[in-house]
Each structure stands twice: as structure tokens, then as C-alpha cells.
Amino acid sequence: MSIQPGSMAARDLDSMLHPQTHLGQHSKTGPMMLKRAEGVYMYDDQGKQYLEGLAGLWCTSLGYGNEELARAAYDQIKELSYAQLFSSKSHEVGVLLAEKIKAMVPLHKSKVFFGNSGSDANDTQVKLVWYYNNVIGRPQKKKIIGRVKGYHGITLASGSLTGLPMSHKGFDLPLAGGRFLHTDLPHYWRNAQPGESEEQFATRLADNLEQLILKEGPDTVAAFIAEPVMGAGGVIVPPKTYFAKIQAVLNKYDVLFIDDEVICGFGRTGKPFGADTYDLRPDSISLAKALTSAYQPLSAVVVKDEIFDAILKASDEMGPFGHGFTYSGHPVACAVGLKTLEIYERDKIFEHAAKLAPQFQARLARYADHPLVGEVRGVGMVGAVELVANRHTKAAFDPIGKVGAECLKNCQDNGLICRAIGDVMAFCPPLIITSAQVDELFDKFDKAMALTLEWANGQGLLAA
Ligand SMILES: Cc1ncc(COP(=O)(O)O)c(C=O)c1O
């Protein structure tokens, strides 16, 4: 498709540095210009309709154009468009939202710190862990362990927690100093040894984690961070017994567990939080995305009282808690968050998602026998299909991502937005999607897969 001079696409190329985009390809193809959206459908500037199969970036749980959320933002702007939380100031919507979050999360007693993005939430987590260990007299206990392919954001600290080469390459990340480590990717299908059961695989990974902690020195390892289900790393569902075994190691060495619920939180995995689905007992939780259904940028770090109390106790010695953002607890974002959580409850959105999950997973599972597919995986209303060159040897395509890109193009041509993570096709639709729309989503994907197979065969990309 040629880019018309003077068009919005051409002006985009002239004016924007795009996040998470292959800039060279983008300069040739130009952007997909999205114009408006309603419910689970988006429309481009030509009026073409797309079913939203990834809820934006795993975030718009209530779909688009929700009147109540628009009204909540409007009313809040009229009443109190901005107020800070610095220096002992506060406001009602902030308090109400913090109370609501505390009541929902699987932490017994906690406090809520507001930010604006998943990345800053995880930076806050790092700073809290360091601050906490300083004030309780363990200044050497500072290392934080993430996982290969984990995604926790892109700022300097959260990007260091992230375990994706793309997030590190060229950016001098992880930060130097040896404080950011990565342990194994818990991907059973790809990484299990021959004959190893899921439970044995989980045991091996927990043993590896223990060895890493011992090698580094338990008195230097402060925390472990994990997404209950990895999202941007390719929708990796934890193998059976994995978290129970990992948590036992963390407890043994007094290592805090940071639960990154930025994707899994708020009904995505079939229960309110990923921690509920996988029986996690975290020390702190990161929330963002579906906290406002992405109608406003808002994040929350929920930290257990034990950590908060230690920080409180140290305040005479340390002075003011010197962390926070201009927009921490922005009242408009909090008002929208509060309304979002009210809608989740009132409209039983988590229950709706849990009810649709078997249909969603069953439609995904149908691809298990497709000639392009190595593995189908998922839980609740998130899932993925991994495309491979050889189903039997699991050999990936070379180069990785070429077939995923073609499949994504075919999805979009057929009116479906999803995500290609390399050659992994990821799905995470708005939770308000209906049963008929789940079928519509996969009917469109059927067509995209048929076209991709034809193309891959034509290119000789599949193993004989
Ligand atoms: C699990 C997880 N944590 C953190 C982040 C970072 O959030 P943000 O992009 O809002 O900074 C993401 C973003 O996708 C995520 O999936």
C-alpha cells in the first residue's frame, strides 16, 4: 500500500517516534490509523471494522466508548480536575479507590501507592524493596530476580526486571551493578527435558532458583517478581506445582514475592486475580491496565502492612518518603478506576469472563492439530497459539517473527486485531465480549490461519 503524501499516515511518519515498533518497517508500511471504537470493535480511518482480540494492550476489559466511564471522568474534571497527594494532601476518590483495591486484593492488610503505568508501579516496587531493606538494617539485601521472558515494563528499573532481549538490546539494560537477575522461563512445552513431567519440570526450576539464590548469597537477594501468567513473553501459563515450589524457596531464604498482576488482575485468568487462580501469597502486588479498563493511565502498588509499618517507623530517621509522581492518585484516573471496579462488580464481569472461558479455550484448542501450530496455551480469557516450522521437533521459523507478521496481516485483513509476539499469536479480548463474538473472533482467525498456511507452504517454510 502506498502512503499518500499529506495523508495522516505520511504525517505520522514525519512526526512520531513510535514505541515498540520496528521503525524501518514502519517507515515503509506506515501506521494502521485507528479512528474510533465502540464495545469490542475498532474502526480505522477507512471505516473498516475490526474485532478487538487483544483488548488494546491487554487492558480495555470493558471495551470502548463506555458512557459511564466517560461520565465519571467528566464529572470528576468538573469537581476536582487535579489534586496532589504530596505533603499530606488527599482527596475522596483516591481514598475510596484505595479502600476498594485493599478490599479486593489477596493481601490481608495493605496500603496502596498510586502511579500512572505498569512500568512505574514496578519501579516503585524496586524502590520499596530497597528502601525497606535499608530501614530494617539489611542494606546488602538488594538483588531482585525476574524471569527470562518476563515483562514488567520498560523504564530503567522495570526494564531491568523484564527478561526480554528486545527490551535490553541497545539500552544498556539490565542496569549495571548486579542487582537484577533472571531465572528460568517456566515454559514446559518448549523447555522440559525428554520424559520430564510438568511437576518434575517445576521442581527443576525451583531447584535452579534456589541454586541462584545460594550462589548470589541469600543475604543479598531481596525479592522475586513474576506475572502469574506471562503476557508479553508469549502467554506462558505456569506448569503444575510451579508457584507452590517457587514460593517455598522464597520463604526459605526470606525473599519477598512481588506479584505483577498488570495483565492478570481483574478477572483475566478466570478469578479476580492471577494470585487467586494460582494460590499465590505475595508480599506486594502491581496493578494497572484493567484497573481503569485503560480509560485513564493509573497504576497501583499494593504493599503489605509489614513493609509499610517498617517504612512508617523509620520516618523520623529518614524524613519524608521521597517517592511519588505529580499524577500519583490523579483524581480523574481514580474516579474512572472507582467506576470501573463498580461496573466489574455490578455487572458481574469476572463471572461473565469465567463463564466464557471454556468456550474461548475450546476454540483455541482446536488449533492444536493445525499444521502450523506447535502449542496452544491459555487460561481464563487469555491465550496463544505458537506457530512453528516443525510440529514434531518444535523447530521455530527462521527468522522468528516472519510467519507471525504474515498471520497478523491476515488477521487484520480479515477484521481481527490480535498480537504477534514473534510467531506466537496472542489473544486477550475485552472481558465484555459475548459468546457470539468469541466465535466471530476465532472464525476470523480460522481464515487468517488458512491464508497463512497457504502462504507458508508457498514459501516452503514448513518442514516436510
Ligand atoms: C505484566 C506487566 N507488567 C508491567 C507492564 C508495564 O506496563 P506499562 O506499559 O503500563 O508501563 C506490562 C505492560 O504490558 C505488563 O504486561
Q: What percent of the chain has pLDDT over 90?
A: 99
What are the distances in angstroms from CA 447 to CA 104, 371, 412?
40, 14, 11
- pLDDT surpassing 70 at residue 113: yes
Nearest atom (ligand 1) to Cα of 232? 16
Nearest atom (ligand 1) to Cα of 120? 11
Nearest atom (ligand 1) to Cα of 58? 14
Burial label, 138 (beta-carbon count in 10 A; 0-12, 13-18, 19+)? middle
Give tens-digit pLDDT for 353-366.
Answer: 999 999 999 999 99
List residues near ligand 1 (CB under 6 A).
57, 117-119, 122, 151-153, 227, 231-232, 260, 262-263, 288
Please tell me whether residues 159 and 297 are part of one structural domain.
yes
Please tell me whether residues 416 and 313 are part of one structural domain.
no
Q: Is the dihedral of CA 158, 22, 235, 269 positive or negative?
A: positive
Please tell me whether residues 226 and 281 are part of one structural domain.
yes
Q: List, in sequence order, the alpha helices (H) in 330-397.
A: 331-346, 349-365
- pLDDT surpassing 70 at residue 324: yes
Which of the listed residues 162, 262, 285 should we mutate to test ligand 1's pocket, taking the one with most ligand atoms within 8 A of CB? 262
CA of 287 to the centre of ligand 1 (A): 9
- pLDDT surpassing 80 at residue 1: no
Please tell me whether residues 264 and 115 are part of one structural domain.
yes
Quote the CA–CA distance of 41 and 55 in Å, as a whole number.
10
Cα 16–Cα 294–Cα 282 angle in degrees, nearest 5 = 115
CA of 392 to the centre of ligand 1 (A): 33
Strands 110-115 and 143-147 come out as: unpaired
Which of the listed residues 58, 147, 149, 152 should we mutate to test ligand 1's pocket, taking the one with most ligand atoms within 8 A of CB? 152
| Residue having the nearest C-alpha atom to atom 13 of ligand 1 | 153
Please tell me whether residues 372 and 419 are part of one structural domain.
yes
Please tell me whether residues 326 and 438 are part of one structural domain.
no
CA of 101 to the centre of ligand 1 (A): 18
CA of 286 to the centre of ligand 1 (A): 9
Give tens-digit pLDDT for 394-451.
Answer: 999 999 999 999 999 999 999 999 999 999 999 999 999 999 999 999 999 999 999 9
Nearest atom (ligand 1) to Cα of 117? 10
CA of 383 to the centre of ligand 1 (A): 17
pTM of the model: 0.98
Section 70-92 average pLDDT: 98
Q: Domain of 38?
A: 32-65+348-458
Asked if residue 96 is part of any domain, the answer here is yes
Asked if residue 306 is part of any domain, the answer here is yes
Closest among 18, 23, 53, 289 to 153, alpha carbons compared: 289
Helix (H) or strand (E) holding 110: strand 110-115
Looking at residue 131, its pLDDT comes to 98
C-alpha cell at position 322: 521521597
* Beta carbons of 388 and 456 less than 8 angstroms apart: no
Looking at residue 222, its pLDDT comes to 98
Give tens-digit pLDDT for 165-209.
Answer: 999 999 999 999 999 999 999 999 999 999 999 999 999 999 999
CA of 390 to the centre of ligand 1 (A): 32
CA of 58 to the centre of ligand 1 (A): 9
Looking at residue 158, its pLDDT comes to 98
Nearest atom (ligand 1) to Cα of 260? 1
Please tell me whether residues 88 and 53 are part of one structural domain.
no
Asked if residue 410 is part of any domain, the answer here is yes
| DSSP letter assigned to residue 369 | G
The pLDDT-based confidence of 463 (bands split at 50, 70, 90) is confident
Nearest atom (ligand 1) to Cα of 57? 14
- pLDDT surpassing 80 at residue 330: yes
For 81-85, the CB contacts below 8 A with 24+ separation are: 81/331, 81/332, 82/330, 82/331, 82/332, 83/331, 84/326, 84/328, 85/114, 85/324, 85/328, 85/329
Which of 346, 361, 388 is the last residue before a domain boundary?
A: 346
CATH of the domain at 399: 3.90.1150.10
Give tens-digit pLDDT for 281-306.
Answer: 999 999 999 999 999 999 999 999 99
- pLDDT surpassing 90 at residue 2: no
Nearest atom (ligand 1) to Cα of 116? 10
Please tell me whether residues 171 and 259 are part of one structural domain.
yes
- pLDDT surpassing 70 at residue 58: yes
